[in-house]
Amino acid sequence: MIHGNEKRSTMLPYGQQWLDEADIEAVVKVLKGDFITQGPVIQAFEQKLADYVGAKYGVAFTNGTAALHGACYAAGIGPGDEVITSPLTFLASSNCVLYQGGKPVFADIDPQTYNINPAEIEAKLTSATKAIIAVDFTGQPVEIDRISKIASDHNLVLIQDAAHSIGADYDGRKIGSWADMTMFSFHPVKHVTTGEGGMIMTDNEEYYRKLLKFRSHGMTRDPQELTKNDGSWYYEMQTLGYNYRMTDIQAALGLSQVKKLDDFILRRREIVKIYNRELSGIQGLVLPEQNTKSNSSWHLYVVRFLPEYFSASRREIFDAFRCMNIGVNVHYLPVYLQPYYRELGFEEGLCPIAEEYYETAITLPLYPKMKDSDVIDVIDAVELIAKSFLK
């Protein structure tokens, strides 16, 4: 426990992978086998996750960014097309639009859930809108029923950036089965990891086939798709694609990790319950809220220190946590405020709710491998810092 000027002996990260002997054995088995890439374990991983979320197809990629790029390609996004997304996300959610020559359009967030506001999406629609990339921030699903209707009514492709929300559900239905395409990420701080990796889930066979080609140089060996067939060795490049292929080494780790996904999420939810119970009485501290239809898988636990209650700036509060070896983080600076986006013409004030959120938000540590003593250390630190800086 942390008291006074005490601090932990080691830094507690905000997120971390949890690997066990079964994961290691799965990877070693592939390393000792015949295929370490382009082999059968990739398809097994894709099928396992598709079955888990209730989708027809899964297409694995080198990382979540590559997967989003593939989704934008499959959706037919190109120069002149606008894609509406959230400003409160990692860079990839809008960069993938730029890769295809399209234009990201940022819609402001809901002040309670911090997810993209469906009403703001409708306000940003134009004749050039081609798609929506809805981001499940912190693991809480967006209002996917409302956003799906908007997409359907305006003939838009709906891509769900579920990098944070694998294992979550909305209105009793798993994320991964709602949108035209859904992206999962397998970075080490996510719910399951492949080191680096991502996957697109879809029920659309046309998108599925486009994604397969896109991740492998635009090539196909499918006899039904070839313009001619010189033999079993023959392949064709039919479009411009990329080398975005996942290896069997990564897929073996992912396949092993997915078997533990429900247990990982259960532990995350246990920690959140403790945080909610112990931190709810702190004046000036805003805890995360959920939409009543959402069942978050809790990738992140974000609290806000309201400036009218505290004498310190967010930077000073952040530094105080770090001095106590509590590895807090901040998610995220609104994307359009990044220097590159400012050069594209995006200006401050575009999404005022997201900007106000950013100035007060701090992400507390949350991951399944946290011990109860780690959770107590975080709670002690929050209480001590809040008391120290309270006006």
Backbone angles phi, psi at 362, to 5 degrees: -140, 130
Cis peptide before 332 (omega within 30 of 0): yes
C-alpha span between 20 and 25 (Å, rounded)? 9
Model pLDDT, residue 272: 98
- Decide the pairing of beta strands 301-305 and 181-185: unpaired
Are the CB atoms for 274 and 375 separated by under 8 Å? yes
In order, the DSSP letters of 287-328 are PP---TTEE---S-EEEEE-TTTBSS-HHHHHHHHHHTTB--
- As a whole number of angstroms, the distance between CA 279 and CA 386 comes to 10
Which DSSP helix (H) or strand (E) runs through 285?
strand 285-286
Low-confidence ranges of the chain (pLDDT < 50): none
| Domains contained in the chain, CATH given | 21-258 (3.40.640.10), 261-389 (3.90.1150.10)
At a CB cut-off of 8 Å and minimum separation 6, what does 233 contact?
none
Q: What is the reported pLDDT for 5?
A: 55
pLDDT of residue 7: 77
φ, ψ of residue 218 to 5 degrees: the values are 75, 20
**277-318: pLDDT as tens digits:** 999 999 999 999 999 999 999 999 999 999 999 999 999 999
Between CA 313 and CA 54 the distance in angstroms is 45
pLDDT value, residue 349: 98
The number of helix segments (H) and strand segments (E) in the chain equals: 13, 15
- Give the Å distances, CA to CA, from 26 to 33, 44, 193, 254, 361: 11, 13, 13, 9, 39
